[in-house]
Amino acid sequence: MLLSILEKYQLHATFFMTGGWVDTYPDDVKAIASAGHDLGNHSQNHKEMSKLTTSEIQEELMKVHNKVKELTGIEMTLFRPPYGDYNNNLIKTVSNLNYASIQWSVDSLDWKDYGTESIIKTVLENKDLENGAIILMHLGAKYTPQALETIIIELQKSGYEIVPISELIYKENFYIDQSGRQYKK
């Protein structure tokens, strides 16, 4: 359903996937890739990454990476840490694996299952909704499909352009502040 809504508005988004999700929905992974969306890594087991060793971090990322590459031929380059949990070792390890670490600025709270109207209000009235905002939504959240179309319509009416993260982030000559936001050097 999410893919059909995005297609209706001719939009591309970024889908961060865990290894378990990839294992359960391999045809959806292929469909997301075929539709031209960004594929992102969200770790194999959705662990608190800051508590892992360098080799454990590498294993968490590369298991998903290899599964997605086998299914789609795509080398993922975007990683969103579960829970937004990170430390310097994670950022360095992820970078050494040719990944960009991605945080979000607007959490839809769709994962709390408060309902469609709650998701819409949480996104559209968020104090951090601005140019460059990254909106966090979840594939398996109960009310996200019902909220997505209204959010797209209202964002576009407000003048926002919706793009996948690969078109939004800086890839060189930038720094990241403590909130995870990028700034051009």
Burial of 63 (0-12, 13-18, 19+ CB in 10 A): middle
Which band of pLDDT confidence, cut at 50, 70 and 90, is reported for residue 103? very high
Give the tokens for residue 150.
């209204």
Mean pLDDT, residues 139-148: 95
* pLDDT surpassing 90 at residue 184: no
Give the tokens for residue 30.
């292929």
Q: Give me the pLDDT at residue 65, please.
A: 98
Q: Give me the pLDDT at residue 174, please.
A: 82
Q: Decide which of 183 and 35 is more confident.
A: 35
Distance between CA atoms of 57 and 34, rounded to whole angstroms?
A: 28
Mean pLDDT, residues 71-82: 98
* pLDDT surpassing 90 at residue 171: no
- Top CATH class of 2-184 equals alpha beta
Cβ atoms within 10 Å of 17's Cβ, excluding its own: 23
Q: What is the pTM of this model?
A: 0.93
| Residue 11 DSSP one-character state | -
Q: Give me the pLDDT at residue 47, please.
A: 96
What does pLDDT average to over the chain?
A: 95
